[in-house]
Chains A and B, each alone.
Chain A
Amino acid sequence: MESKTILLVEDNADDEALTFRALMKNNIESQLVVARDGAEALDYLFATGKYSARDVNSGPQVVLLDLNLPKVSGLEVLRQLRANERTKHLPVVILTSSKEEQDLLKGYDNGANSYVRKPVDFNEFIDSVRQLGLYWLILNELPPARR
């Protein structure tokens, strides 16, 4: 079984380290790719820029997207994802600190599959990540890739 990729779009180095740690704790077999800002995320997803060598068809299993990103915002990344034929169905989980109504609404309006609030308590965070991993990587079925 090819190892599944998770694309984590997160600008905060601490959060990135903690997420990685949480995934490890849960023995989730997957490769974690990190994009530090919106532009990098788009580059990876569409195999442009510094990721032009990547095979565009081996897309990530799921994208964990933070909303507050430099250069290109999380919502903008989401919009572009949904606009593209190939990435239209890619599962995107918005993982962010905010619980503000407007963010929730905007996220779902632009086609996010799920919205999870990052808890402060690390144990809770580990649990959240475990659940996310279990669901999106193992339980969830991706649509067949378009040729």
Chain B
Amino acid sequence: MVSDYSISKKLTWMNMLVSGAALLLACGAFIAYDVASLREGMIYNLSMQAQIVGFNSSSALLFNDPHSAENTLSALKAWPNIVSAGIFTPDGRPFASYLRGRDGRVLTLPPILQGKTEIYRFNRSEAVLVRRIVFQERETGFVYIQSDLEGLKVRVAQYLGVAAAVLATSLLAVLLISPVFRRAIAEPIVHLAGIARIVSRDRDYSVRATPTSDHDELSVLVDDFNDMLSQIQLRDAALQQAHGELEQRVAERTRELSASNKELEAFAYSVSHDLRAPLRSIDGFSQALLEDYADKLDANAQDHLQRVRRAAQRMSALIDDMLSLSRVTRCELRREKLDLSAMAKSIASDLQEAEPGRCVDFVIESGLTAVGDPQLLRSAMENLLRNSWKYTSGHPTARIEFCRSEENGLRPFIVSDDGAGFDARYADRLFGAFQRLHTATEFPGTGVGLATVQRIIHRHGGEIWAEGEVEKGATFYFTL
């Protein structure tokens, strides 16, 4: 409910306070002024009365007639505010007195300083005036008049009453008029607050605040608020559109990619079938020639045919390696937790079984794990370990190690051997496809193995590099 909101309450209270304060100040000022002038008036009257009484009692004083002086004084009865009055001789002795009531108070004369003709003083309940009586330039005595302040008090009370009435009326008026404030100020603010709450709670940017009719800061606020909401809506729409476009583009790219992937697969398939068949014929019939016509072929001819056979077999090996290289890029990457140590051990035992005559010491660190595609990583490990096996075949004994570096930072896996190694000057050619740093007679191979390993490592987001020295061995580092 609007009336419960603190803004209108605050406004109402503010108005009441301000009006109240203003009124109080005004009334206070007026009353103070009035009291002051009343007192002035009173003193003026007392002074007049003192002069008249003094004048009329001069002869009584001169002729020492207290009775006559008392008569004069008794005329003061006409003013009911006068409590008491007295005439004193020049040396301060009481001469005549007048009392309004029964209480007989002893009047004492306050001292008058030399230069002054009269003095007066006010205290809480009375005003006192003392005047010197002078007759023909001779001091004949003193007049003393004491008045009460009842009249004053009554007047002040009346004023206060009026002021209170005015204050109450005006506060009431403020309360009655406060709905006007609400309409003009609190309502738009409360309405704006409500809209803001809806927007932030429901994230609905389509609502708008109703604009106000005047042209003040509030209407500016409402207009700007609505404008901001429109901007947000526009931005949202633009974002949505951009998002949609992006999605479209991504879908398109994915389509293109999967189409080209399919093409590659078809290509690889055709290669694996159709290229091999003629090779088989080449090899097979060369062999048939060698066998069937052995007596008709001299050593040279036989050598030619052997070369033909070897060439066909080499081509087959190349096709196989090329296919496995392309398979690395084609196939989907699975992510599994793998035990690389176990993998290495199994490969090592396979190698040892295939050539039991060789004396190779495998040092494999336990507990090395990684996350990646099991097939691809096994292929990579096989390539690396098989390489080490192959390139240490020239030595009578060999040591092949698989471990992980404890250096801070990268912590790469390490496959190292103490075999033929390689010339470090050509290290950048190591991972190129079909690049070899040894001849086929030294060590067999197609030069695709390391290229395959590199591609596998890169697909896992890792890096691979190598160090080596001729006849001192080679060390391969890779991260995943």
Q: Which of B8-16, B60-68, B241-249, B282-290 contacts A (4 or more CB under 8 A)?
A: B282-290
Taking the closest CB of chain B, its distance from the CB of A24, in whole angstroms, is 11
Contact B269 A100 (CB under 8 A): yes
B195 within 8 A of A: no
Inter-subunit contact A120/B272 (CB<8 Å): no
A118 touches B288 (CB 8 A): no
Q: Are B285 and A18 in contact (CB under 8 A)?
A: yes
Segment of B219-227, B273-281, B466-474 engaged in the interface with chain A: B273-281
A99 is an interface residue with CB less than 8 A from chain B: yes
Q: By DSSP majority rule, is chain B's interface helix, strand, loop, or mixed?
A: helix
Whether, in the assembled complex, B387 has its beta carbon less than 8 Å from a beta carbon of chain A, the answer is no
User: A97 in the interface, Cβ–Cβ < 8 Å?
Assistant: yes
Q: Which residues of A contact B279 (CB under 8 A)?
A: 120
Chain B residue nearest to A14 in the complex (CB): B281
Interface centre among A21, A99, A119, A120 (most CB of B within 10 A): A120
Contact present for B313 and A121 (CB under 8 Å): yes
A123 sits at the interface (CB 8 A): yes
In the assembled complex, how far is the CB of residue A13 from the closest CB belonging to chain B, in whole angstroms? Answer: 9
Q: Do A98 and B269 touch (CB < 8 A)?
A: yes
Contact B313 A120 (CB under 8 A): yes
Determine the residue in chain B with the shortest Cβ distance to A125: B284
Q: Verify B287–A97 contact, CB threshold 8 A.
A: no
User: How many angstroms between the C-alpha atoms of A122 and B313 in the bound complex?
Assistant: 9
Seen from chain B, the residues whose Cβ lies within 8 Å of a Cβ on chain A are 268-269, 272-273, 276-281, 283-288, 309, 312-313, 315-316
Chain A residues whose CB sits within 8 angstroms of the CB of B278 once the complex forms: 14
The reply to whether A97 and B281 form a contact with Cβ atoms under 8 Å apart is no
Known: A120-B279, A120-B312, A121-B313. A18 touches B273 (CB 8 A): no
Question: Does A15 have its Cβ within 8 Å of any Cβ on chain B?
Answer: yes
Given known A-B contacts A15-B281, A120-B316, A121-B283, A97 and B288 have beta carbons under 8 A apart:
no
Which chain B residue shows the least CB distance to A68? Answer: B273
Per-position binary interface string of chain A over residues 59-100, scored 1 when its CB falls under 8 Å from any chain B CB and 0 otherwise: 000000000100000000000000000000000000011111
Interface residues of A (CB under 8 A from B): 12, 14-15, 17-18, 21, 68, 96-100, 118-123, 125
Min CB–CB distance A20 → chain B (angstroms): 11
| Chain A min CB distance to B402 (Å) | 28
With A97-B273, A100-B269, A100-B272 already in contact, the answer to whether A120 and B287 are too (CB < 8 A) is: no
Cβ of B288: which chain A residues have Cβ within 8 Å of it? 18, 21, 122
Do B273 and A118 touch (CB < 8 A)?
A: no
A121 to B281, CA, bound (A): 9
| Contact present for B280 and A14 (CB under 8 Å) | yes
Q: Which chain B residues lie closer than 8 Å to A12 at the CB level?
A: 277, 281
List the A side residues contacting B286 at CB < 8 Å: 122
Rounded to whole angstroms, the CA-CA distance of A17 and B286 in the bound complex is 13
Q: How close is B313's CB to chain A, nearest CB, in angstroms?
A: 5
Taking the closest CB of chain A, its distance from the CB of B334, in whole angstroms, is: 14
Verify A14–B272 contact, CB threshold 8 A: no
Asked, given contacts A97-B272, A98-B269, whether A122 binds B277 with beta carbons under 8 Å apart, the answer is no
Q: Within the assembled complex, what's the spacing in Å between the Cα atoms of A12 and B269?
A: 18
A68 to B309, CA, bound (A): 25
Given contacts A14-B280, A118-B276, A121-B283, 19 further A-B contacts (CB under 8 A): A12-B281, A14-B277, A14-B281, A14-B284, A18-B281, A18-B285, A18-B288, A21-B288, A97-B273, A97-B277, A98-B272, A118-B280, A120-B276, A120-B279, A120-B280, A120-B283, A120-B312, A122-B280, A122-B287
Q: Are A122 and B284 in contact (CB under 8 A)?
A: yes
- Complex CA–CA separation, A97 to B320 (angstroms): 11
**Cβ contact of B283, chosen from A68, A98, A99, A122, cutoff 8 A:** A122
Q: In the complex, A65 Cα to B224 Cα: how many Å?
A: 81
Lowest 9 CB-CB distances: which A-B pairs, in order? A14-B281, A120-B316, A122-B287, A18-B284, A122-B284, A97-B276, A120-B279, A122-B283, A98-B272
With both chains docked as a complex, state the minimum distance between the C-beta of B61 and any C-beta of chain A, in angstroms: 150
CA distance A120 to B317 in the complex (A): 9
Residues of chain A within 8 A of B269, CB atoms compared: 98, 100
For the complex, give the distance between the alpha carbons of A12 and B268 in Å.
20
Residue of A17, A97, A125 with highest tally of chain B CB at under 10 A: A97
Q: Which of chain A's residues has its CB closest to B292's CB? A: A21
Q: How far is the CB of B259 from chain A (nearest CB, A)?
A: 18
Residue pairs across A and B with Cβ atoms less than 8 A apart, 13 shown, are: A14-B277, A14-B280, A14-B285, A18-B281, A18-B285, A21-B288, A96-B273, A97-B273, A97-B277, A98-B272, A99-B272, A100-B269, A100-B272
Chain A residue with Cβ nearest B312: A120
Could you say which residues of chain B place their CB within 8 Å of the CB of A99? 272
- Complex Cα–Cα for A96 and B273 (A): 8
Nearest to B287 among chain A residues (CB) is: A122
> Across the two chains, which residue of chain A brings its CB closest to B324?
A99
Complex Cα gap A122–B283 (Å): 6
Q: Chain A residue with minimal CB distance to B280?
A: A120
Do A15 and B273 contact each other (CB < 8 Å), given the known contacts A120-B312, A120-B313?
no
**Residues B280 and A125 in contact, CB atoms below 8 Å apart:** yes
Determine if B277 and A15 form an interchain contact, defined as CB atoms under 8 angstroms apart: yes
Q: Which residues does chain B contribute within 8 Å of A17, judged by CB atoms?
A: 284-285
Residue of A nearest to B320 (CB): A99
Chain B's closest residue to A120 (CB) is B316
Bound form: Cα–Cα A21–B290 in Å = 13
Minimum Cβ distance to chain B for residue A116 (Å)? 13
